[in-house]
Structure 1
Amino acid sequence: MTEAQGGLRGWFAARKGMWSRLRFTSLRLRLVVVFGLVALTAAVSASGIAYWLNREAVLTRAQDAVLRDFQQEMQNRAGALPEEPTQDELQQAAGQMAGSSQRFSVLLVGTDGNGKTVYGNSGALDGFTLQDVPVSLREAVNEKQSVDSANKSAYHLYWQRIVDHDTPYLVAGTRVIGGGPTGYMLKSLEPEAKDLNSLAWSLGIATGLALIGSALLAQAAATTVLKPVHRLGVAARRLGEGRLDTRLRVSGTDELADLSRTFNYAAEALEKRVDDMAARDDASRRFVADMSHELRTPLTAITAVTEILEEELEAESGSIDPMIEPAVRLVVSETRRLNDLVENLMEVTRFDAGTARLVLDDVDVADQITACIDARAWLDAVELDAERGIHARLDPRRLDVILANLIGNALKHGGSPVRVAVRAAADEVVIRVRDHGPGIPEDVLPHVFDRFYKASASRPRSEGSGLGLSIALENAHIHGGEITAANSPDGGAVFTLHLPRDASALTEQPTDAEKDEAGATKGDA
């Protein structure tokens, strides 16, 4: 891996962690917002209802006291006036009425002996005139009603709340029963308004405190709920990383505790299953390795015999009976195939055990490909498009194995000619092997590198072992490279091999077994 690639991976890892934290914070934020909205709705509703009830109670109590006092003064003071009072009499009566406990302004309106309308104000400085009384209220006060059993008075007391220069007032008016002046009253409700404003501020502060308290409560609840969820997420991430001994500490009997217990049960079952599979896999690998090792000794002897038989077949003396010649050729062919299979199994075992090693050397890629083709007598069937002087530090033996499998697979299953093209980049070498056959079926493409995979189930036994492409891919991976398979638009299959120009860094990395040993030593320490 280059330094730029490592930095890029680090950047993506940092962004991934940041997004995970944002998602975690978002969930916490949603809980806080929901708690806050519920608390705000409840607090505002309660405050609004409380304010409305208190407002009505305060205003009703104040207005009832004022109206009761005004009506009493009208009966006592204005009722004692003659039916045709003078302005001085109205003025004196209005002043006496305004001196009541409620301290309101009074305006008396009457008709003197000359039929002239006269006014009596409670004071020259209060400024209360007939224009301050709403027209609708004046009309209602002066409207004479019929007297019957349901209505025993021709005139009644009427009142109305008004606002003048942002100050609330209570205006009321009535006529003296039995004849006399008409009286109007103006009472400022500013003290009550101030009390109601203070109440509103108190309720607003209480609502704000309730909102803050709900936010703190939501934070505590979110922490209580999300902390186990966070621990569960961390444990699941560690489990996904292969640390199967991860367990959660369980406390309580709620749903989150049940979820933690379920996770522990699942992790324990998974660990047991993986251990069983690993044990079976290790046993299978040991069996393959032991079997391959044990087969090598008798196979060496059989190979020596078949080589002698093959020499006899090629000799001109004709010492082999023509009747058994086909059988001898079959034995030679199958022995060679068995020998290749055992070698492939031994190679696969080394990859699985993590004991495969790179023996690096500076190689000319074009010369290496030429040597591979020449050693297998493929010169007439393979076209090479490669410049001389493309050097790379690779393992020559493993590169030869990769090329032999790719080119041999193209010759066996594709069509001639097979074209091998080499292109060099700054940090890698790209080798493309293309044949001119029918190509690879789309359902087979994902499985071409699987072990023992045969494209045709009707031909389970063929000349190949089904391990060649898998071994080629493993050899590419051990170099830090990759092999891809595709179909060319012009027909035929294309295998593309990507290898680094220098695999030296990989030889300095510890193997899996060394990593496990180092981890165990660190754990013991």
Structure 2
Amino acid sequence: MSIRLRLTLWYTGILAVTFLVFGVGLYTFFSYKMHNDLRNELAVQAQEVNREIKGFGGIFFSLPDLREFKSTGIYMQSISIQGQVKRSSNLKSNLPWTDEHINLALQGEDSFETIPVNDFNLLMYYYPLVLEGGLVGVLQVATPLEDVEQFLHNLRLILFLVALFSIFLAASAGWFLSRKALQPIENVIEAANTIEKSADLDKRIDYEGPNDEIGRLTDTINGMLSRIQAMYTGLDDAYRAQRRFVSDASHELRTPLTTIRGNVDLLEKIWKPAAALEKGASEGERAEPAMKDGTVELSLEAMHDIASEAERMSRLVNDMLSLARADAGFTMTKEAVELKPLVEEVVRRAQFLPRTADWIAGDLGALDGVEVYGNKDYLQQLLFILIENAFKYTDEGEVRVDALRSGRQVGIRVSDTGIGMDKDEIPHIFERFYRADPSRGKKAGTGLGLSIAKWIIDQHGGSIEVKTRKEEGTTFVVWLPVSGDSLSPSVGMRYNE
């Protein structure tokens, strides 16, 4: 059962009960009022008649003319204690009575009774007649209830018809108004069905009514749809990034695996004939060397390739493990770290890295006495990533490191004179497996270094600034908050062409 139908039934039922209570109350009031007025009128008439009766010798009496009392609708009849019955002139026959009420009147008590006569009822009043201080008989004063009963019948009919019409009208109007009032809910259902069938999260519920409960509900659902859309978009982006990550990781792992398998096949082809030759030379006094010098050199070269590719795979797996920890919400252990000795150690060790460019240690005076709150190992890894990246893309020229100071932040700048980047590539360089150079694989590496570097910077509450120009070089500046300052500044990335 719909809310609309339930609401209509509820207020229709309440209205019906209200009309029932009102109708019963109104009918009861009029019935009591009219019957009571008749009783009072009969009593007054009986008393008037009792005062106007004329007696003869204290025993005989006669009724006055009823026209004197303007009571044409009232009938009177007296019964003397001797049993004589006298009636008013407007009666053609005697009024009926019951012995019970006659006896009550003879005992001095008045009473009322409703007596059916033909097709109508009579309201009968029994009144003891007193003449000269003594009881001389009983006076019956009666009036027909036809008019009263007809009025009450008409009243019942009118109340029933009015109630029926009012309930029907109220139910129809309520059904229409509830439909209009609940139309926003219908819109909510329609929008939800549309979203369910078409996955269209851009659809919103239109509502132009007042800011009532339904208005607030509509706003809440629209807000919820916006959040769901944002979450769905984020999940979709994350799913695409995950698929790209798996695809790129598979590609990166396939290359060293292919190299390893090729070299293993080569060694197998070389060593199997040699092993067979050594086994067949058991009868000779002296076996020839199974492997010639050229074959040995070829084997050593293949083993070197295997070791190199295995090391490359190990680096890739370690980088992927670091990013997996970052995605899982890994929080590194931090402490106060003196920055200058750490950078000097990185500068010293960096000169032994494979490179073709000159390595220059610039002015590190801005780091004097500076401490940052962070992790020493991860900060060293961050600097090595930037330096190795600079060496990788600088075939000739120089790679330089120096320090900067700006307020309560300290910057470490790594610059090179390498191939640089286009401005359109800069926003993507921190994405996993992204390569700025057009031909993938042109430069060795996993494509994960800068992603790890960005995660380390974020963990330290810092930011990174990128300046680059095609064929002129690239500069990275890592900004870190000085220890004692806010450890959660605005984390972000700045870059310039």
TM-score where L is the length of structure 1: 0.47
